[in-house]
Amino acid sequence: MTDARRSNLPPLSLHVPEPRFRPGDEVDFGDIAVPPAGAARRPDTADPASSFHELAYSLVRVLDDEGRAVGPWDPRLSPDTLRAMLRDMALTRAFDERMFRAQRQGKTSFYMKSTGEEAVAVAAAHALASDDMCFPSYRQQGILIARGHPLAGLMNQIYSNKGDTLKGRQLPIMYSARDYGFFSISGNLTTQYPQAVGWAMASAAKGDSRIAATWCGEGSTAEGDFHSALTFATVYRAPVIFNVVNNQWAISSFSGFAGAEATTFAARAIGYGIAGLRVDGNDPLAVHAATQWAAERARTNQGPTLIEHFTYRAEGHSTSDDPSAYRSAQEYSHWPLGDPVVRLKQHLIAIGEWDAERHAAMDLECAERVKAAQKEAEKNGILGHGMHQPFETMFEGVFEEMPWHLKEQCQQMIDERKAAGI
């Protein structure tokens, strides 16, 4: 204590965040501020980002508790579009259920569900143009489903079977689907963020009209790539939409370890002078509206928008995870923003465009479609049961042309298999 400047002060202490509930705890989410639907204003898409900072701290919501669409953010979608969104979300959920079970049955090594977060992917996909480019994380399978990717194709990838267009090279769910405007998913978090910016900058440089959109989890915002991406985007006013899926959890660590105790994730945008919105991620209409708004900004050279989707990860992080070890089992049932599928269903019923029977029939149809797709996919094999890609494919695609050392190694592998009598 060599300096008078602090001689009277108590010692410092380190603050380490702690989530409010742990296994066994009673959950009370009363402290989560849920503004009424329709309350947030909708600025003109040409307004400067600095004129609506408050939107980074509130919550854009369209669907109220009675299932009505209210306020300036109501995207006024046709019933057909609403039903299509509902079906895509339901289908995503059915797909997740089935593939989760397939993993449990030993048919593959790994799976990740998006349960509870379907709106974030599906409603965004409906708001974007079909050839806008998506740079997703691993939890936006809803985009592929909304864009009509064949389910069996996704399953082939999950099974790493001989129908897998990625030749069994990638972990399950690490899809790549250029034809569906869906960038190759990386195992390394947030690397897609600057890539999306680069794609968007290229589109702008070429005088194209397509924009890019990217997604990451709230935990992943801590990576340096996030910052690089937002910096590039603000400097060059790149036509890109940054989605932060704040589902409260990053494996076992809660959003406080990414900075949620001090401010919102949407507020990150303000730091860069970028447009920022905080959206009820379980409200498909709000997600759609926010995406559409951000897309319009991007398309008119107003630059990037960051959207925080406030939602909840209903299931484990992946099939390797057991969330009951670190969070209260009550959390999801107490989640104040409900279930996106239920909320859209309610809305459609409220406006007289849907009913319980049609919903049940749709659920059944989704289950059947998934089942049929699974049957089709399993004809190509499941993981570890021999029906994989030819062994030589392992050496292809490292480079455009195979150099001598890979040719030699390929031959070595073939010789090995001969030696082993297989």
Partner 1 sequence: MAHMNMIQAINSAMDVMMARDPDVIVMGEDVGYFGGVFRATAGLQAKYGKTRVFDTPITECGIIGVAVGMGAYGLRPVPEIQFADYIYPALDQLVSEAARLRYRSNADFIAPITVRSPFGGGIFGGQTHSQSPEGIFTHVSGLKTVIPSTPYDAKGLLIAAIEDNDPVIFFEPKRIYNGPFHGHYDRPARTWADHPGAEVPEGYYKVPLGKAAVVRPGEAVTILCYGTMVHVVATTIEELGVDAEIIDLRTLVPLDIEAIEESVRKTGRCMIVHEATRTGGFGAELSALVTERCFYHLEAPVERVTGFDTPYPHSLEWAYFPGPVRIGEALKKILKD
Ligand X SMILES: Cc1ncc(C[n+]2csc(CCOP(=O)(O)OP(=O)(O)O)c2C)c(N)n1
Tell me the catalytic residues.
313, 317, 326
Of 241, 250, 279, 377, the one binding partner 1 (CB under 8 A) is 250
195 lines the binding site for a second copy (CB under 8 A) = no
Residue 247 binding result from ligand X, partner 1, a second copy, none, given CB thresholds of 5 to 8 Å by partner type: ligand X
Residue 139 binding result from Mg ion, partner 1, ligand X, none, given CB thresholds of 5 to 8 Å by partner type: ligand X
Query: 215 to 234, contacts with partner 1 by CB under 8 A?
Result: 219-220, 222-225, 227-229, 231-232
Three-state SS letters, the chain: CCCHHHCCCCCCCCCCCCCCCCCCCCCCCCCCCCCCCCCCCCCCCCCCHHHHHHHHCCCECCECCCCCECCCCCCCCCHHHHHHHHHHHHHHHHHHHHHHHHHHCCCCCCCCCCCCCHHHHHHHHHHCCCCCEEECCCCCHHHHHHCCCCHHHHHHHHHCCCCCCCCCCCCCCCCCEHHHCECCCCCCCCCHHHHHHHHHHHHHHCCCCCCEEEEEECHHHHCHHHHHHHHHHHHHCCCEEEEEEECCEECCEEHHHHCCCCCCCCHHHHHHCCEEEEEECCCHHHHHHHHHHHHHHHHCCCCCEEEEEECCCCCCCCCCCCHHHCCCCCHHHHCCCCCHHHHHHHHHHHCCCCCHHHHHHHHHHHHHHHHHHHHHHHCCCCCCCCCCCCHHHHHCCCCCCCCHHHHHHHHHHHHHHHHCCC
Q: 94-98: long-range contacts (C-beta < 8 A, 24 or more apart)?
A: 94/363, 94/366, 94/367, 94/369, 94/370, 95/141, 95/145, 95/151, 95/154, 95/370, 96/141, 97/370, 98/367, 98/370, 98/371, 98/374
Query: 163 to 182, contacts with a second copy by CB under 8 A?
Result: none
Applying CB under 8 A, the span of 26-34, 70-78, 199-207, 373-381 interacting with a second copy comes to 199-207
Residue 397 binding result from Mg ion, ligand X, partner 1, none, given CB thresholds of 5 to 8 Å by partner type: partner 1
338 lines the binding site for a second copy (CB under 8 A) = no
- Number of residues lying near partner 1 (CB under 8 A): 92
Q: Which is nearer to partner 1, 92 or 156 (CB)?
A: 156
Q: Which is nearer to Mg ion, 161 or 221 (CB)?
A: 221
Of 52, 100, 111, 257, the one binding partner 1 (CB under 8 A) is 257
235 lines the binding site for a second copy (CB under 8 A) = yes
Q: Which is nearer to Mg ion, 156 or 243 (CB)?
A: 243
261 lines the binding site for a second copy (CB under 8 A) = yes
Of 70, 166, 267, 349, the one binding partner 1 (CB under 8 A) is 166
Residue 235 binding result from ligand X, a second copy, Mg ion, none, given CB thresholds of 5 to 8 Å by partner type: a second copy
- Number of residues lying near Mg ion (CB under 5 A): 5
314 lines the binding site for Mg ion (CB under 5 A) = no
Q: Where on the chain is the footprint of ligand X (CB under 6 A)?
A: 139, 187-189, 216-220, 245, 247, 249-251, 313, 317
Q: Which is nearer to a second copy, 206 or 418 (CB)?
A: 206
Minimum CB separation from Mg ion for residue 223, in Å? 13
Q: Which is nearer to partner 1, 92 or 220 (CB)?
A: 220
Residues that bind Mg ion (CB under 5 A): 217-219, 247, 250
Residues that bind a second copy (CB under 8 A): 1-3, 5-6, 9, 11-17, 49-50, 53, 128-132, 201, 203-209, 211, 221-228, 231, 234-239, 256-259, 261-263, 267-274, 295, 299-301, 303
